[in-house]
Structure 1
Amino acid sequence: MFADLLKRLTAPAPEPLPYDDARLALTALLVRIARSDGDYAQIEADRIDQLIAHRYALGQTETKALRTEAEILESEAPDTVRFTRAIKDAVPYDDRVGVVEALWAIVLADGERDEEEDALLRMVSPMLGVNDRDSNLARKRVEDALS
């Protein structure tokens, strides 16, 4: 299952992903940012669950299953540059801006703006085709919601 999705994502000219595959790929990107500092904390996993449950209107069982699949996909996915660019080519812009906002929520979940997570997010946003202005606005929305 994951091999086929990764093959489609990394094709020279990827087709737009079906809804379920896009949802899985975007959740895997949330997992990647959470794991980037070497400490995949429970608060980050819980925040991913909250974000995907809300974003995709999932129940608790579906949420846990999606995150578990995303954790596996993330571990098998290619380097962040190829993975992120593939998502950019396969997912509409508005969804990518929403993902950047969700990524900021993961980075800020533990109350610390870790350098590794911050650096990865600043690299990932442009690769997703999200400009600095929209990324900064997304970060501000998250910070305001957490205050």
Structure 2
Amino acid sequence: MLASIKAFFSAELSLKSSDDQQCKIQLAAAALLIELSRADYQREPEEQAAIEAALKKTFDLSDGQLAELVDLAEQENQDATSLYQFTNLIKDDYSNEQRFELVKMLWQVAIADGEISKYEDHLIRKIADLIYLPHSQFIKAKLDVLG
């Protein structure tokens, strides 16, 4: 699994080994978005489109790079036993502003199908806590997306 992730980031994004951490962070962000799309036990096409749009915009990826990142994130998400492996990378390496933007992306995915389920709301709240985003910014991110 790790070999395929490294191969993707080396071949597709032409990154040096010092940039491996950034690659892992992109994968972690994608995995969290995918986890959220599964929170209400219904994966809607609108949510998948919102995930892809957010990742493409945030990381400036080509269509091929985006498809590969989403595939790898799906695999990582299925293999994960907790959110910790994803949220820990985000917490340690994202600035407060980047964490705020990630939570906004989560809200965008949650609302993409027209409603925010209680499971989606709970998961976003949990992720925000795990990445140490202050509650006021959690609320602001939600209002920015819903407003």
TM-score interval for Structure 1 and Structure 2 normalised by the shorter chain: 0.7 to 0.9
Give CA deviations for 1:37-78 in whole Å, capped at 9, x if unaligned: 111211111110000110011122211211111111111122
Matches within 5 A, 1:5-44: 18-44=21-47
- TM-score under structure 1 length normalisation: 0.81
Distance 1:50 1:20 in 2: 18
Contact 2:28/2:87 (8 A) holds in 1: no
Aligned partner (choices 119, 123, 127) of residue 120 of structure 1: 123
Name stretches of at least 5 consecutive residues in structure 1 with no aligned partner: 6-15
Name stretches of at least 5 consecutive residues in structure 2 with no aligned partner: 6-18
- Over 3 Å counting, the alpha-carbon distance change for 1:90 and 1:76 in structure 2 is farther
Aligned partner (choices 118, 139, 142) of residue 142 of structure 2: 139
Q: Tell me, what secondary structure is at the counterpart of 1:113?
A: coil
Distance 2:50 2:85 in 1: 25
Percent identical residues: 26
The number of residues matched between the two structures is 134
- TM-score under structure 2 length normalisation: 0.81
- Over 3 Å counting, the alpha-carbon distance change for 1:83 and 1:55 in structure 2 is closer
Structure with greater helix percent: 2
Which range is displaced more, 93-102 or 128-137?
Answer: 93-102
| Structure 1 residue ranges, 4+ long, deviating more than 6 angstroms after superposition | none
Give CA deviations for 1:68-118 in whole Å, capped at 9, x if unaligned: 111111111221256424532343332221111111111111110111111
**What is the CA RMSD across the aligned residues, in angstroms?**
2.2
